[in-house]
Structure 1
Amino acid sequence: MKTYRSKIDWWLILIILGIFSYPIVEGIMTKQYGLSITMISILFFIFWMFSKIKYVIDGTILIVWWIKIDIHSIKRIYKTNNPMSSPALSLDRIAIVYNKYDEVLISPKLKKQFVDELLKINPSIVVEI
């Protein structure tokens, strides 16, 4: 079993911190500590969820959060910057096309190693990176 973590864009962290910093500071300045505590709790929850985004290759199965993909059903892997919601914390993404019309966008930190590992299991994958 091999685990690959998601690449994280620094600007994404700044945007999230920027969004949550105003209500946190506002809550402290107006002595509405409940607001600050709530926002800090939500911020910790978001970063906890970020830490759980990973891609696991277990035998011939690729696990992306709750999605299990048979690696032999993967047809194509290509580079994309699609901002569509997905289990990826960076816009430096790859799309994995599997089955007939299914696709998932991910952003493994070690992209080349990840793709090479998939190719060891299924050498017929078309790679366009």
Structure 2
Amino acid sequence: MKIYKANRKGFINYLLIGSLILPIAIFFMDKSTFSEKPFILLPLLSPLILIFWIYFDTSYKIENNELIYRSGFLRGKIGIPNIKEILKGKTMWSGIKPALARNGMIIKFNKYDEIYIAPENNDELISDLVKLNSEIKITEYKPK
């Protein structure tokens, strides 16, 4: 079993910083509200907890001939023999995305299914997948 960390670059970092600053800024703008009603802080901290969960929980691993992904509440398994093609360096803007960064890879499996993941090192994960299924077609995406 090998675990691949998620690439944590880009927009997720700005979202995390922004969600940290918002409750602090509101607290300093009106301290009396928080001293009178401390429970009002809970709605401000809920998104922060969700973002932290996704940020620290996102990872991928290969185990028992399956690619296992997890990112917060998104969890699943892909049978490596079912993988048909990997588009390396491309970002998918809709669909299932257990990823935190751009320029990851789109994995096409079964007949019409695809998922976007973004490990720290695309090449390492691709080489390990190809060792287990040599029929995977690798396509390098080059922007125009």
Shorter-normalised TM-score: what interval?
Answer: 0.7 to 0.9
* Mapped contact 1:94–1:106 kept (Cα < 8 A): yes
Unaligned stretches of 5+ in structure 2?
A: none
Unaligned stretches of 5+ in structure 1?
A: none
How far is the alpha carbon of 1:125 from its aligned partner?
0.2
User: Could you tell me which residue of structure 2 aligns to residue 51 of structure 1?
Assistant: 56
Q: Tell me whether 1:92 sits opposite 2:103 in the alignment.
A: yes
How far is the alpha carbon of 1:23 from its aligned partner?
4.0
User: Could you tell me which residue of structure 2 aligns to residue 67 of structure 1?
Assistant: 76
Please, what is the CA RMSD of the aligned residues?
Answer: 2.0
With normalisation by structure 1, the TM-score equals 0.86
Identity of aligned residues (%): 30
Deviations 1:85-108 (A, max 9, x none): 611000112000000001000001
User: Could you tell me which residue of structure 2 aligns to residue 111 of structure 1?
Assistant: 122
Give the total of aligned pairs.
129
Moved over 6 A (4+): none
Which letter does structure 1 place at the counterpart of 2:67? L
Larger Rg: 2
Which letter does structure 2 place at the counterpart of 1:82? M
The structure 2 residue matched to 1:83, chosen from 75, 93, 103, is 93
* Mapped contact 1:23–1:36 kept (Cα < 8 A): yes
